[in-house]
């Protein structure tokens, strides 16, 4: 990715939310900012995930925003989703075979260059690395340093996503190297997620 390019925005939902309350908050962010993709990441029973998939899909597609689901790839076809984000790269080969080449298939690879390169070879549409800041609640304590994104942007053509603990400082540092910035928990706990996103992106 050229240093003159600005990374695209990739929204990630909270792990827990009430659809009726969250949907207008997400819509407000989509109306305020240009967003490339939204990821549904919801820890809930299957029926609640399905309802959220339908409701948020319609909001995204009305604004020409891609909508993917985390891990639950079997919902992609029945619910008209654009693809899946896999939290474990080991399942990518089978998922890609099942969903076909037209569906989006992205993979979280932690801090592993090897996992990222393998995912790209198998057919991932993007890989994501993170977390990018130290937080005891994120990952296993290892960080995806700026050097990883810089190396990837110079050596690998597969788009790369930075996620996990983004701050204004890390956004400024990664802006030249990441193709996408995945923003989620950084903004959803705020009273005004649109304003919080503006402060994060600068």
Residue 3 pLDDT: 41
Predicted confidence at residue 136, as pLDDT, reads 61
The pair of structure tokens assigned to 89 is 């790269």
Q: What is the pLDDT of residue 118?
A: 97
Q: Which residues pair with 131 in a beta bridge?
A: none
Please state the domain extents for the chain.
Answer: 8-201
Q: CA–CA separation, 202 vs 191, rounded Å?
A: 18
Q: How far is the C-alpha of 9 from the C-alpha of 26, rounded, in Å?
A: 13
> Longest C-alpha distance within the chain, in Å?
44
What pLDDT is attached to residue 5?
72
- DSSP SS3 for 83: strand
d(CA 168, CA 59): 27
> Chunked in runs of 10, what are the mean pLDDT values of the chain (202 residues)?
70 98 98 98 97 98 98 98 96 95 96 97 97 74 93 97 96 97 97 98 89
- pTM for the predicted model, two decimal places: 0.94
> Would you state the pLDDT for residue 65?
98
User: What CATH architecture does domain 8-201 belong to?
Assistant: Alpha-Beta Barrel (3.20)
């Amino acid at each position: 990715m050229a240093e003159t390019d600005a990374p695209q925005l990739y929204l990630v939902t909270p792990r827990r939310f009430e659809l009726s309350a969250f949907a207008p908050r997400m819509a407000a962010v989509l109306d305020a900012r240009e967003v490339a993709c939204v990821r549904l990441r919801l820890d809930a029973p299957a029926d609640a995930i399905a309802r959220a998939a339908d409701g948020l899909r319609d909001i995204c597609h009305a604004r020409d925003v891609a909508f993917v689901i985390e891990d639950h790839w079997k919902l992609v076809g029945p619910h008209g989703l654009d693809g899946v984000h896999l939290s474990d790269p080991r399942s990518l080969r089978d998922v890609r075979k099942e969903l076909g080449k037209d569906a989006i298939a992205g993979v979280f690879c932690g801090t592993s260059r090897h996992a990222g390169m393998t995912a790209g070879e198998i057919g991932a549409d993007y890989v994501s690395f993170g977390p990018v800041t130290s937080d005891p609640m994120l990952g296993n304590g290892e960080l995806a340093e700026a050097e990883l994104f810089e190396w990837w942007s110079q050596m690998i053509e597969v788009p790369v996503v930075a996620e996990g603990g983004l701050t204004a400082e890390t956004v400024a540092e990664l802006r030249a190297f990441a193709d996408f910035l995945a923003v989620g928990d950084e903004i959803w706990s705020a009273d005004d997620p649109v304003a919080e996103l503006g402060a994060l992106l600068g």
